[in-house]
Amino acid sequence: MIGSGDVLLLATRNSGKTKEFREAFGKLGIAVKDLHDVEGIPDIEETGHTFADNALLKAKAVADIVGLPVLADDSGLCVDALDGAPGVYSARYAGEPANDAANNEKLLLELKRLASHSESAEAELVGERSGAPGKERLAESVEEHANESMKVLLAESLNEQVEEVEQEPEQEPEQEPEQEPELLSSARFVCSLVLYDPADGSHLTAEGAIEGNILREARGTDGFGYDPLFWLSSHGRSMAELSLAEKNAISHRGQALRRLLEMIGK
């Protein structure tokens, strides 16, 4: 039922999603349209409790209006330190109307708040164990180690000076090895796709997920949504530092789409 007339309508107003589907379907000779190309489709409330529920809701609502098969994508970010939030609320995490920058900012705020809470809880625990209040105990610990740290610092700076002198002047400065950036929590992107046929109400559902970590600082300018905060250790890049094709090859959406296409023999 897909590709009747080799055009497929997506039940989305998210141009970032449309771009990714265009890249993937282009290879199959299928043109992709979205709700920016169709008039008279109202906003569809995403009242489901799962990604699959919401994808079905969107696909059915639009397909019943246009009378053609429709593909819907419901997706989001599940962050472990936040017990799976924002999850199905990813798009409206910072309120409505949906705003990627505000959502990213809220995500960082929540994770940093959590980190500072657990740091102070840890300090108190140290205090309780030693019988001294947390802050005092920490100060003592700094005192105890101060001399040792000073020695290490002095030795390091001496070593650096020696290395500087020893370096050949015409030698290329060595490239700093890229350090793993600071990460706040493990997380995953999840995507549910539903292809709905209004002729008989039949539909197919496919899911995909990708594991990663939330960065303390945004990186990259490609993609959309939470991509700049989603770190892929295996690639040494954020999702927003991948090209469209690279993202599709690994993403939750790419995986779900390949599964769906397999189901319909494409």
Binding residues: 12-17, 45, 74-75, 224-227, 247, 252-253
Distances in Å between the Cα of 256 and the Cα atoms of 27, 221, 251 are 16, 24, 9
In b/e form, how buried is each residue of 87-100, taking b as 16+ CB within 10 angstroms? bbebbebbeeeeeb
Q: Please state the residue numbers annotated as binding site for Mg(2+).
A: 45, 74
Handedness of CA 183, 184, 186, 190 (dihedral sign): negative
Q: Which stretch binds ligand Y43 (CB under 6 A): 119-127, 138-146, 172-180, 224-232?
A: 224-232
Helix axes 15-26, 252-263, angle to 10 degrees: 50
Beta-ladder partners of 78: 86, 188
Q: Say if CB 206 and CB 264 are below 8 A apart.
A: no
Q: Which stretch binds Mg ion (CB under 5 A): 86-94, 139-147, 153-161, 218-226?
A: 86-94
Position with the least CB separation from ligand Y43: 225
14 binds ligand Y43 (CB under 6 A): yes
# residues contacting ligand Y43 (CB under 6 A): 23
The nearest distance, CB 224 to ligand Y43, in angstroms, is 6
Q: Which helix (H) or strand (E) holds 205?
A: strand 202-215
Active site residue 74: yes
Sole binder of ligand Y43 in the list 226, 231, 248, 257 (CB under 6 A): 226
Q: Which helix (H) or strand (E) holds 166?
A: helix 134-166
91 binds Mg ion (CB under 5 A): yes
Please identify every residue annotated as catalytic. Answer: 74
Residues that bind ligand Y43 (CB under 6 A): 12-14, 17, 46, 73-77, 90-91, 98, 103, 189, 223-227, 239, 251, 253
Residues that bind Mg ion (CB under 5 A): 91
